Amino acid sequence: MAPIKKDFEIAIIGGGIAGVALAISLVKRNIPCTIYEKAHAFGEIGAGLGITPNATRAMKACDPVIYQVFDRVAQPAILWTFFDGSDEKKDDEPIFTLGDAETGIRGCHRAHFLDGMIQHLPKDVAKSNKQLDRVEEPYGPSGKLRMVFQDGSTAEADAIVGCDGIKSRTREIVVGSDHPSATCGFTHKHCYRGLIPMEEALEVIGKERAMGSNLWSANKRHIVTYPVANGTILNIVMHCTSDGDWPSSTNFVLPVGEEGCYVDSEGLSPRLRRLVKRMKSVDRWGLFDLGDHPVPTFSRGRICLIGDAAHASTPHQGAGAGLCIEDAATLASLLADDRVEGRDDISAAFAAYDQCRRDRGHRLVEGSRRIGELYEGQTEVGKDFKAIENEVRIKAKDIWEFDINESIHHSLDDLGRRLAVKTGATDYRQGNFRAGL
């Protein structure tokens, strides 16, 4: 039996992985929603996407169909192997490994995953070319929030969820445009992302490395590789430390060409530099996060934030997409609870979501920064690989072993307490738990 349709509508700002995962989760629970995407079509930046075990569990809590899509486009879980990438005599000698065929990270192409999810959305759920400018709240006798878009058009909803990424306009609205966390800060690190045909990768690093998931550590830089597209393509990301400031306040991706990328690979072993040289049409991606100024709250009234809008992080733990899917599962379960009967209960659901997710989001931001510094020999342990391994394992355990269903149950208890305070009730036991249905 399908859940009873909720008497409110959710506006989702942004049609990336976070927004689409949330929309699928809400539709599954019979909660009306509309996605407003600023581009003319849905899309994801970047190429390869690493998914940790906690993320696959969160997919199932959102809607099992999300996991089914992922499972079709992703590589099997494989061992992550760490190397010293500064010396060709050492760059093929494993230092330590992480994960295995059961619990390792799985790689896929971002666009393939997103395109697969979109196929499971009703056709009338999404509107394109809608970039949020401001929110007027509440608007008129209906009590709805009114969204004004940059093209002058407007729309109304009972609540708004910002899934609009690292440059989130919704975040500015929640915290205030003059708050330090309204915009992300440059981490003094950048990266180059590329895809090369697997046959070329095999020529340079051999089958064992090309078909595996690897990280090579060096001074002020590190390189990550793993196969995507059913093993036909090698995804490469080369990370580097930047000494100066980022040259643009609006564009986080700048064209540099293959030669600029190759120059930045100095310090890697000759073999790895030959691999980097195979990368084509290369851009330099500035790595920005909210580490200096964490968002003080993920919600305000009937507006809330998920994914990078809430906890933009560097990619060094490979966990950003996973946490946004956890966010979606948590928020959808709260909104679906029987005790959230109408618009007036949404702010309590959003507050419970904030209480449940904010600390984990902040830990991701802090941990990812730290891991990036460890990989590039910029911490107090230098190149003590045993110390690096110990810390990497501790942080991976915190991310990978997270129990999303237990967390959702705790958030539903918190929701009950908040609604009980609001109504003066004494019984705040959980309604129907809809994680995954």
Catalytic residues: 193
Strands 221-228, 233-241: parallel, antiparallel or unpaired by DSSP? antiparallel
Residue 303, classed as helix, strand or coil, is: strand
- Tell the burial category of 142 from Cβ atoms under 10 Å away from its Cβ (0-12, 13-18, 19+): exposed
> Which residue reads 């506006």 in tokens?
11
For residue 211, give every residue at least 6 positions away whose Cβ sits within 8 Å of its Cβ, in sequence order, or none.
198, 227, 231
Q: Which two tokens stand for residue 316?
A: 């060094």
**How far is C-alpha 103 from the geometric centre of its chain's CA atoms?**
19
Q: How far is CA 220 from CA 58, 73, 387, in A?
A: 34, 33, 18
Ranges of beta strands (E only) in 14-99 are: 33-36, 48-51, 80-84, 96-98
Residue among 153, 171, 152, 151 at smallest CA distance from 161: 171
For residue 386, give every residue at least 6 positions away whose Cβ sits within 8 Å of its Cβ, in sequence order, or none.
none
Residue among 26, 320, 358, 363 at smallest CA distance from 161: 26
For residue 291, give every residue at least 6 positions away whose Cβ sits within 8 Å of its Cβ, in sequence order, or none.
185, 187, 313, 365, 366, 369
CA quadruple 358, 359, 363, 366: dihedral positive or negative?
Answer: positive
Amino acid present at 397: K
